[in-house]
Structure 1
Amino acid sequence: MRLIVIFVLVFFVAAGVVVGALNADLVSYDFAFARLQLPKGAALLAALVLGWLLGGLTAWLGTSLRQRRLQRQRRKEAGRTTAGA
């Protein structure tokens, strides 16, 4: 299984290098506070990484908040059973 994951990873890294090399011309990005000129490949990679990080953070927060809510409910139920006994 690890070998398959390594092959898939190497494939996507190679594809990223090819896409970056084929899209080497500069693109200008104008934000309200800064202006950047990046190669298209680097901009695509930055957008991919930013989306991956934000998606991971969102998923982590969702599961973390759900776990906290479940722990609170379990504590309440445990308190009811010990107080009721």
Structure 2
Amino acid sequence: MRLIVIFVLIFFVAAGVVVGALNAGLVDYDFAFARVSMPKGAALLAALVLGWLLGGLTAWLGVSLRHRRRLKAGKKQARA
């Protein structure tokens, strides 16, 4: 099983290197307060990581808040 995970990881790293090499052109981003110029591959990777982090944070907060509500409701039932 561990060998399969290593092969899948190597495949995705190689695919990322190829995508980054094929998209070496620069992309300009103009935020109202700053201007950033970065390669297309780096911009794609940054967007992917940012989306992954925000999605994980959203999922974690949803589960955490639901868990707190259940604990609070359980405490109320225990007192009654």
Q: Tell me whether the two structures share a fold, i.e. TM-score over 0.5.
A: yes
CA shift for structure 1 position 12: 1.1
Q: Which residue pairs with 2:3 in the alignment?
A: 3
Aligned residue pairs total: 80
Question: % of aligned pairs identical?
Answer: 79
| Structure 1 unaligned residues grouped into runs of 5+ | 81-85
Normalization by structure 1: what TM-score? 0.89
Equivalent runs, 1:4-83 vs 2, <5 Å = 4-80=4-80
Deviates more, 1:57-66 or 1:2-11: 2-11
Normalization by structure 2: what TM-score? 0.94
| Structure 2 unaligned residues grouped into runs of 5+ | none
CA shift for structure 1 position 4: 2.1
Larger Rg: 1
**Structure 1 stretches of at least 4 aligned residues deviating more than 3 Å after TM superposition:** none
